[in-house]
């Protein structure tokens, strides 16, 4: 007689499981920097946060990376680190740690560049960005969210209490961020940076896979194959004379 599992036999899990190496290192680094900037060295926020004016006038180019490790409050860092764990762990396991880190920092830096470019546009809504300090890993987090939605489009995500496929969740988040960026809400949240992370993630994942080294290797192998094909071509010397060289 077949035995069906009871409620005692069912296992429930929350999230993607244990921390992967890069996720653990990023969470620890973010937590340490948050504590130092919040309680020990308050000047770190202005020195390491992303300020377009400082980029142009003082060439503080490191801010394009360091701003990702600063956060404005407990809720800010907890939300970002939770999202990093939930959406990044599975991506790191699939891509490998080096590729995951390249994508994470590429989307974070691209989000920062987006903020800088918008800050110099001649519009009233973007003008405050020039002298404002942008902090947080949200640009890179939104890049991870985009990747998760593209790679696991039918994975169920709870939106408040409603289950929704990941692809639609990403679409909803993208539309909300776009509308907030266009409206230029004065909430202090860098929606332009979030939008930059989404766009950068899409561009990176949809770009043609090309590298100079791969192209050279491909051309060399193609040349060898053509040479071998000519060497072993069939030559006819008469009705019954067929030789293979």
Q: Work out how many domains the chain is built from and give that number.
A: 1
| Terminal alpha carbon distance of the chain | 69
Considering only CA atoms, which of 171, 178, 203 is closest in space to residue 192? 178
- Checking if the pLDDT of 8 tops 70, the result is no
223 within a domain of the structure (yes/no): no
- Checking if the pLDDT of 5 tops 60, the result is no
**What are 159's strand-pairing partners?**
162
Ramachandran region, residue 13 (left: φ > 0; alpha: ψ -120 to 50; beta: rest): beta
Lowest-confidence pick of 69-83, 93-107, 112-126, 196-210: 196-210
212 within a domain of the structure (yes/no): no
Query: What's the predicted TM-score (pTM) here?
Result: 0.75
Q: Indicate the DSSP class of residue 154.
A: T
Share of the chain above pLDDT 90, in %: 46
- Say which residue, 24 or 159, is predicted with more confidence: 24
What's the confidence (pLDDT) of residue 212?
45
What confidence category does residue 209 fall into, taking pLDDT thresholds of 50, 70 and 90? Answer: low
**CATH code for the domain in which residue 129 is found:** 1.20.1540.10
Q: What is the pLDDT of residues 86-128, one digit of tens each?
A: 899 999 999 999 999 999 999 999 999 999 999 999 888 788 8
Ramachandran region, residue 132 (left: φ > 0; alpha: ψ -120 to 50; beta: rest): beta
What's the confidence (pLDDT) of residue 51?
95
What confidence category does residue 223 fall into, taking pLDDT thresholds of 50, 70 and 90? Answer: low
103 within a domain of the structure (yes/no): yes
Average pLDDT estimate for 151-168: 81
128 within a domain of the structure (yes/no): yes
4 within a domain of the structure (yes/no): no
Considering only CA atoms, which of 171, 197, 193 is closest in space to residue 181? 193
6 within a domain of the structure (yes/no): no
Please give the residue range of the domain that contains residue 140. 21-206
- Say which residue, 215 or 118, is predicted with more confidence: 118
29 within a domain of the structure (yes/no): yes
224 within a domain of the structure (yes/no): no
Lowest-confidence pick of 59-73, 109-123, 229-243: 229-243
What confidence category does residue 163 fall into, taking pLDDT thresholds of 50, 70 and 90? Answer: confident
């Amino acid at each position: 007689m077949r035995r069906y599992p009871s409620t005692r036999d069912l296992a429930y899990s929350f999230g993607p499981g244990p921390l992967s190496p890069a996720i653990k290192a990023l969470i620890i680094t973010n937590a340490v920097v948050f504590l130092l900037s919040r309680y020990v060295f308050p000047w770190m926020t202005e020195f390491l946060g992303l300020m377009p004016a400082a980029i142009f006038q003082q060439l503080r180019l490191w801010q394009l990376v360091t701003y990702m490790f600063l956060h404005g409050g407990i809720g800010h860092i907890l939300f970002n680190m939770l999202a990093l764990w939930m959406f990044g762990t599975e991506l790191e396991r699939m891509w490998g740690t080096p590729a995951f880190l390249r994508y994470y920092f590429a989307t974070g830096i691209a989000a920062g560049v987006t903020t800088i470019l918008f800050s110099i546009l001649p519009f009233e809504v973007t003008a405050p960005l020039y002298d404002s300090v942008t902090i947080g890993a949200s640009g890179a987090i939104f890049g991870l969210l985009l990747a998760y939605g593209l790679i696991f489009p039918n994975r169920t995500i709870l939106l408040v209490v409603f289950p929704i496929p990941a692809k639609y969740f990403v679409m909803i988040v993208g539309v909300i961020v776009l509308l907030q960026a266009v409206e230029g809400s004065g909430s202090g949240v860098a929606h332009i940076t979030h939008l930059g992370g989404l766009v950068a993630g899409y561009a990176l994942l949809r770009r043609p896979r090309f590298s100079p080294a791969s192209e050279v290797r491909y051309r060399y192998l193609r040349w060898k194959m053509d040479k071998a094909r000519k060497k072993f071509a069939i030559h006819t010397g008469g009705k019954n004379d067929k030789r293979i060289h």
